[in-house]
């Protein structure tokens, strides 16, 4: 039986682990398929306080992990398939093992949203469709690529891809970017970036080799269609929270985000179960706010376990 299990090793989970470990709770952190979370797919983090020159996303989470380990946090790979949260002892069913704990912090983050258009599935993962420029950008040296979306992620992906691609077309469904003004300005002024405004992707087309060769764009103003040749298609249209295994026990909003109890960012209606980071935050979704929620959840978990 564990004192405290923390699900997720992104900014929220790792900060919770640092605080909980320093409080002698000896937390067990369960890492999913993306250790370090979404930040590991970001190249440069420019807005995390304390790093005036910026910091690499992977480096930042690696340092957080070392800090948690220094105080006794333990890490294991496990994906929770099913959870039972209606008893004092919480049970987590993972592939090959079942774990029990007194307190639980769920910091499972969010996964990239897909468009769901024809061609996307077949091209996903190695054939031209990706949601991570940092991971896959180098495959497109000297080639034309597109980025779909108008937020900060899309802007960041587009700018990163200019290091490799001969041309980057940002495809956005409206006439104004959602990205912060500083990022939006950098994108629209970049000589290698073109913006396809008022455009959505209707279909992704493969060449004879099974790799991406073009997207079919629809102009939302007049419904006209055109093909835009590209070798790489990068999705940056937001995220879906990873909350499914807990839906039967905790409150979720219409988009699937955890809804904490009134008066708290991290408490849920189940005593001893706390939430933190992007799985519980549709509003801010920053590395620093996730870290803040992780800290709050660990303090709550410590208070809860001290009453048992």
Query: Where do contacts with ligand NAP occur on this chain (CB under 6 A)?
Result: 47, 115, 149-154, 156, 173-174, 178, 200, 236-238, 285
- The catalytic position among 132, 230, 279, 295 is 132
Length of the chain measured in residues = 308
Nearer to ligand NAP, 100 or 255 (CB): 255
CA 227 to chain centre: 30
Kindly state the smallest distance separating residue 285's Cβ from ligand NAP, in Å: 4
Nearer to ligand NAP, 11 or 25 (CB): 11
| Three-state SS sequence of 73-107 | CEEEECCEEEEECCCCCEEEEECCEEEEEEEEEEC
Kindly state the smallest distance separating residue 200's Cβ from ligand NAP, in Å: 6
The reply to whether 295 belongs to the active site is: no
Phi, psi of 218 (to 5 degrees): -115, 125
Kindly state the smallest distance separating residue 49's Cβ from ligand NAP, in Å: 13
- The catalytic position among 101, 136, 281, 295 is 136
- The catalytic position among 56, 88, 101, 135 is 135
Contact criterion met (CB below 8 Å) for 270 and 297: no
Residues 144 and 162: their CA atoms lie apart, in Å, by 10
Report the residue closest to ligand NAP, judged by CB: 151
The reply to whether 136 belongs to the active site is: yes
Phi, psi of 290 (to 5 degrees): -65, -45
Nearer to ligand NAP, 51 or 249 (CB): 51
CA quadruple 285, 42, 155, 52: dihedral sign: positive
CA quadruple 99, 100, 101, 105: dihedral sign: positive
Kindly state the smallest distance separating residue 236's Cβ from ligand NAP, in Å: 6
The reply to whether 11 belongs to the active site is: no
Nearer to ligand NAP, 44 or 79 (CB): 44
Which residues carry out catalysis?
132, 135-136
């Amino acid at each position: 039986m564990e004192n405290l299990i923390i699900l997720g090793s992104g900014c929220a989970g790792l900060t919770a682990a640092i605080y909980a470990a320093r409080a002698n709770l000896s937390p067990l952190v369960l890492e999913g398929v993306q250790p370090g979370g979404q930040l590991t797919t970001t190249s440069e983090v420019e807005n995390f306080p304390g790093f005036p020159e910026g910091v690499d996303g992977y480096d930042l989470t690696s340092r957080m992990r070392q800090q948690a380990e220094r105080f006794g946090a333990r890490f294991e790979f496990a994906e929770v398939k099913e959870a039972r949260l209606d008893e004092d002892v919480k049970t987590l069913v993972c592939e090959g093992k079942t774990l029990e704990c007194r307190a639980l912090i769920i910091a499972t983050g969010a996964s990239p949203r897909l468009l769901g258009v024809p061609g996307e599935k077949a091209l996903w993962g190695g054939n031209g469709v990706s949601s991570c420029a940092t991971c896959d950008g180098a495959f497109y040296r000297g080639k034309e690529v597109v980025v779909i979306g108008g937020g900060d992620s899309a802007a960041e992906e587009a700018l990163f891809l200019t290091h490799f691609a001969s041309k980057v077309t940002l495809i956005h469904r409206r006439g104004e970017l959602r990205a912060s003004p500083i990022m939006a300005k950098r994108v629209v002024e970049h000589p290698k970036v073109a913006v396809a405004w008022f455009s959505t992707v209707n279909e992704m087309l493969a060449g004879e080799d099974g790799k991406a060769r073009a997207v079919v764009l629809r102009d939302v103003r007049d419904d006209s269609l055109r093909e835009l040749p590209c070798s790489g298609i990068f999705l940056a249209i937001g995220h879906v929270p990873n909350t499914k295994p807990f839906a039967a026990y905790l409150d979720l909003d219409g988009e699937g985000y955890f809804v904490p109890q009134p008066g708290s960012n991290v408490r849920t209606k189940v005593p001893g179960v706390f939430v933190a980071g992007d799985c519980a935050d549709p509003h801010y979704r920053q590395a620093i706010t996730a870290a803040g929620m992780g800290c709050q959840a660990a303090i709550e978990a410590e208070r809860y376990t001290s009453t048992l």
